[in-house]
């Protein structure tokens, strides 16, 4: 067992105790953030020369699933913030030194939506925009933001190059009143505002080069971890957190069912329909976990043997990720409809975890139909439509 997982398991009760306070606060509590830092979870994908583990992708995602099942908002933040070192580890050495040189436990946030516009200037870009959904942002000192850069070759004012831009905390504003939601409130996924911020070239990623492992080959050629495609792994972290939350719904239902007596005086464990829904849900949750974790493990072993993950392999992994998430969410829905009226009480963890799952399913990486269609279309040589995360 990975030492980070041992630490997370040993502190499960402490993480669970911080979930409701995080929801009430609208961000992860300072105590929960300290627990995550001390566990080393956010450094699992960080380069070894900056205090990281360069751990296997499967290990990271398994821990995220397990933590999100117990503490959804904290697990979600751990997954999102924890996957950023995977990207930063592929960045220019100057960027890595700025972020981690003085503090290996520096956290980084992201809104990856390509909302911003960046005009070219000498040595870099001037970036402007406002982005929603920056999870865990209150505890982060840097951010990586999506946007369209001004074309190198086209007319001035043509913004057609998808990029990620990295900024220090002083260069963006957190809009603290922007996160008022029905679920995952503790993630503190607030809006960010950037006005006329200069971003040097070395703190910029061209998205196509990131996904094609150009930066990994240039700056981390000896590490197999960074040969996993970004556009496969980041959605995998989202899938893992979401499956974890769905697991929490099913687990809470199982605990609730064990002692529940219906209004007719019958024990719920004697109701064959309830028991059938629980049995099916447990099997589907397990299948979803194994689907995502197994594929990540196989891809990593393939890379270790010197293999290069192809576009076709990425497509297959993504369709399996979204299908696993959908299966897990349907398993949670199956048991939720049998939970009865008491499950809607604010004091019942089933309803809270159900709301968290509902919000998690809205993440762009969990939208499934376009991914299914793109994967099937690839069988006939149909190009992937613009905007489909596959």
Q: Between residues 275 and 9, which one has the greater pLDDT?
A: 9
Q: Could you give the CA distance from residue 115 to residue 136 in angstroms, rounded to a whole number?
A: 19
Give the rounded distance of the alpha carbon of 307 from its chain centre. Answer: 25
For residue 236, give both structure tokens.
């995998």
304: CATH: 1.20.140.10
In this prediction, residue 281 carries a pLDDT of 96
For residue 203, give both structure tokens.
């703190």
58: CATH: 1.10.540.10
Give the rounded distance of the alpha carbon of 376 from its chain centre. Answer: 25
Is 157 in the same domain as 139? yes
How confident is the model over 318-355, as pLDDT tens digits?
999 999 999 999 999 999 988 888 888 888 899 999 99
Is 351 in the same domain as 254? yes
Is 236 in the same domain as 355? yes
Residue 41 sits at φ, ψ, to 5 deg, of: -60, -45
Per the CB < 8 A criterion, the answer to whether 136 and 109 are in contact is: yes
Average pLDDT of the chain, as a whole number: 94
**Best CA proximity match to 366, nearest among 243, 187, 239:** 239
Q: Could you give the CA distance from residue 91 to residue 203 in angstroms, rounded to a whole number?
A: 8
In this prediction, residue 40 carries a pLDDT of 98
Q: Is residue 268 situated within a structural domain?
A: yes
How confident is the model over 87-119, as pLDDT tens digits?
999 999 999 999 999 999 999 999 999 999 999
pLDDT of 173 above 80: yes
pTM (whole model) above 0.85: yes
Q: Is residue 201 situated within a structural domain?
A: yes
pLDDT of 266 above 70: no
Q: Could you give the CA distance from residue 113 to residue 243 in angstroms, rounded to a whole number?
A: 22
pLDDT of 129 above 70: yes
pLDDT of 378 above 70: yes
Q: Which of 100, 125, 143 is the last residue of a domain?
A: 100
pLDDT of 390 above 80: no
Is 349 in the same domain as 237? yes
Q: Is residue 217 situated within a structural domain?
A: no
Per the CB < 8 A criterion, the answer to whether 321 and 292 are in contact is: yes
Per the CB < 8 A criterion, the answer to whether 98 and 170 are in contact is: no
Q: Is residue 126 situated within a structural domain?
A: yes
In this prediction, residue 264 carries a pLDDT of 58
Domains contained in the chain, number:
3
Q: Which of 79, 100, 121 is the last residue of a domain?
A: 100
Is 116 in the same domain as 201? yes
In this prediction, residue 256 carries a pLDDT of 87
Q: Is residue 387 situated within a structural domain?
A: no
Is 112 in the same domain as 92? no
Is 156 in the same domain as 283? no
pLDDT of 262 above 80: no
139: CATH: 2.40.110.10
Q: Tell me which of 27-36, 55-64, 369-378 is least confident.
A: 369-378
* Cβ partners under 8 Å of residue 26, min gap 6: 179, 180, 185, 186, 188
User: Domain containing 74: what range?
Assistant: 3-100
Is 113 in the same domain as 191? yes
Q: Is residue 210 situated within a structural domain?
A: no
Q: Is residue 216 situated within a structural domain?
A: no
Per the CB < 8 A criterion, the answer to whether 118 and 147 are in contact is: yes
Is 86 in the same domain as 197? no
Q: Is residue 187 situated within a structural domain?
A: yes
Q: Which of 100, 126, 152 is the last residue of a domain?
A: 100
Q: Tell me which of 42-46, 76-80, 269-273 is least confident.
A: 269-273
Is 116 in the same domain as 75? no
Is 367 in the same domain as 296? yes
Is 50 in the same domain as 125? no
Q: Tell me which of 55-64, 152-161, 237-246, 293-302 is least confident.
A: 152-161
């Amino acid at each position: 067992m990975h030492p980070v997982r041992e630490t997370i398991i040993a502190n499960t009760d402490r993480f669970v105790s911080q979930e409701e306070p995080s929801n009430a606060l609208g961000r992860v509590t300072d105590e929960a953030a300290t627990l995550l830092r001390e566990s080393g979870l956010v450094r699992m994908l960080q380069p070894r020369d900056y205090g990281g583990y360069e751990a296997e992708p499967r290990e990271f995602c398994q821990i995220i699933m397990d933590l999100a099942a117990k503490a959804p908002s904290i697990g979600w933040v751990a997954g999102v913030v924890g996957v950023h070192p995977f990207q930063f580890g592929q960045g220019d050495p100057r960027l890595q030194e700025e972020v981690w040189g003085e503090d290996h436990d520096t956290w980084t946030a992201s809104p990856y939506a390509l909302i911003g516009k960046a005009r070219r200037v000498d040595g870099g870009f001037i970036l402007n925009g406002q982005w929603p959904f920056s999870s865990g942002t209150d505890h982060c000192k840097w951010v990586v933001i999506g946007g369209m850069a001004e074309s190198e070759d086209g007319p001035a004012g043509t913004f057609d190059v998808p990029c990620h831009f990295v900024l220090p905390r002083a260069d963006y504003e957190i809009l603290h009143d922007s996160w008022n939601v029905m679920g995952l409130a503790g993630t503190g996924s607030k809006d960010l505002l950037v006005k006329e911020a200069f971003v040097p070239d070395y703190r910029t990623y061209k998205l196509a080069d990131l996904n094609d492992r150009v930066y990994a080959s240039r700056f981390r050629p000896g590490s197999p971890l960074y040969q996993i495609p970004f556009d496969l792994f980041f959605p995998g972290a989202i899938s893992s957190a979401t499956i974890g939350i769905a697991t929490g719904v099913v687990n809470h239902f199982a605990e609730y069912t064990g002692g529940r007596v219906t209004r007719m005086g019958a024990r719920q464990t004697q109701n064959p329909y309830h028991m059938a829904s629980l049995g099916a849900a447990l099997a589907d949750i397990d299948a979803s976990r194994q689907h995502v974790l197994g594929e990540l493990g196989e891809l990593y072993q393939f890379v270790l043997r010197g293999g290069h993950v192809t576009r076709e392999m990425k497509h297959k992994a993504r369709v399996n990720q979204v299908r696993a998430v959908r299966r897990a969410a349907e398993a949670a829905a199956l048991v939720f409809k049998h939970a009865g009226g008491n499950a809607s009480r604010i004091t019942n963890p089933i309803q809270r975890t159900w709301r968290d799952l509902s919000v998690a399913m809205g993440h762009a990486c969990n939208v499934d139909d376009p991914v299914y269609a793109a994967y099937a279309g690839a069988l006939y040589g149909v190009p992937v439509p613009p905007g489909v995360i596959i």
